[in-house]
Homo-oligomer: A and B are copies of this chain.
Amino acid sequence: MYNFASDYLEGAHPKVMEALNQTNFVQTVGYGEDEYCQKAKDKIKKILNNENVDIHFLVGGTQTNMIMISSALKDYQAVIAVDSGHINVHETGAVEFTGHKVLTKPHQEGKINCAMIEEIVSGHTDEHMVQPKMVYISQTTEYGTYYTLDELKEIYQCCQKHHLYLFIDGARLGSALVLNDAPTLQEMAMYSDAFYIGGTKMGALFGECLVIINDELKTDFRYHIKQKGAMLAKGRLLGVQFDALFEGDLYLEIGKHENECANILKEGLKKNGYSMYIESPSNQLFPIIDHETLKKIHQKYITTPMFEVDENHSCIRLVTSWATSKEVCYEFVKDLEK
């Protein structure tokens, strides 16, 4: 059985494991104040061409979202997202647990736009309602789509106009970074207040790299990390991993590889007459497949069920990762052709 269900099914990219092995016996101070974290931060700041950002390494995505959002908002403030947003659906109310409402609009191919944001803002006018203060988007989105540089700029300007922070969840950022008109890391740091560079789904054992650009969001951030149980004692593990991921072009190469693998699957599916629920250029695909074929696929492959389209067809999700081989993708296509 080969598992296409997600991009966190294996351990770490060999180069990441190698770095962990090589540094295993070195003594460092704890809690992320070590030289490996420093080195990784310096590397990333250089890529961002911005010495002024604050970088924090965290363990997982839900954790990063809840800490970034709750630390930015006052008690009565809310975060805006599309209804399909990870924070709205798949984090067991983590944002609400920290006391904040998630205000939503129905997504358009996984994405939000300025009109939706403004509709929410104009509907929240006084102290009897929560006060919208942040917009949360994902790059790539829950449906594998992405924001182009122009779209990001427009949303950021919209946020600026309405005094909203813009925070980007980059759990699968590598898959977006290699797309032609998507913003680069440097551009993301220009057109957002904070974003995170995903590690867990991009070849690390675990770990997310949070970049805070807006000074207002930086104060005492380590207190927030510690209080929410998110400060790793052996924080160096995060530094070592991100140092390895950003050695050369590894992070981008992983994204490129993922997309190429996904593309093999997509082309194969299309050639064989299957349509996509949403057109995605990244490492997540959402094909609609008849139940008979699906049964055959599931004899050899695991996929994620999404929803029934009609009584004979379902939408599923296929995800490729750093560990996916092109061979297994070609094999999937060949099996499809039978």
What is A's interface to B at a CB cutoff of 8 Å?
2-3, 5-6, 8-12, 14, 17, 20-21, 23-31, 59-67, 70-71, 74-76, 78, 89-94, 96-102, 127-131, 200-201, 205-206, 220, 222-234, 236-237, 323
How far, in Å, is A217 (CB) from chain B's closest CB? 12
Alpha-carbon gap, A201 to B63, bound state (A): 22
Q: Do A92 and B233 touch (CB < 8 A)? A: no
Q: Do B92 and A226 touch (CB < 8 A)? A: yes
Nearest opposing residue in chain B for A88, CB measure: B101
How far, in Å, is A272 (CB) from chain B's closest CB? 25
Q: List 22 A-B contacts (CB under 8 A).
A: A10-B25, A11-B24, A60-B230, A60-B231, A62-B226, A63-B230, A66-B229, A75-B97, A76-B223, A76-B224, A78-B93, A78-B96, A91-B128, A93-B100, A93-B101, A101-B102, A127-B220, A127-B225, A131-B223, A200-B233, A206-B237, A229-B230
Nearest opposing residue in chain B for A59, CB measure: B59
Q: Do A227 and B91 touch (CB < 8 A)? A: yes
Contacts of A229 in B (CB 8 A): 60, 62-67, 91, 94, 228-230
Q: Do A9 and B25 touch (CB < 8 A)? A: no
Identify which of B60, B76, B102 contacts A92 (C-beta below 8 A): B76
Alpha-carbon gap, A8 to B236, bound state (A): 10
How far, in Å, is A196 (CB) from chain B's closest CB? 13
Nearest opposing residue in chain B for A74, CB measure: B220
Alpha-carbon gap, A172 to B39, bound state (A): 30
Contact status of A9 and B21, CB under 8 A, knowing A128-B92, A130-B92, A229-B62? no
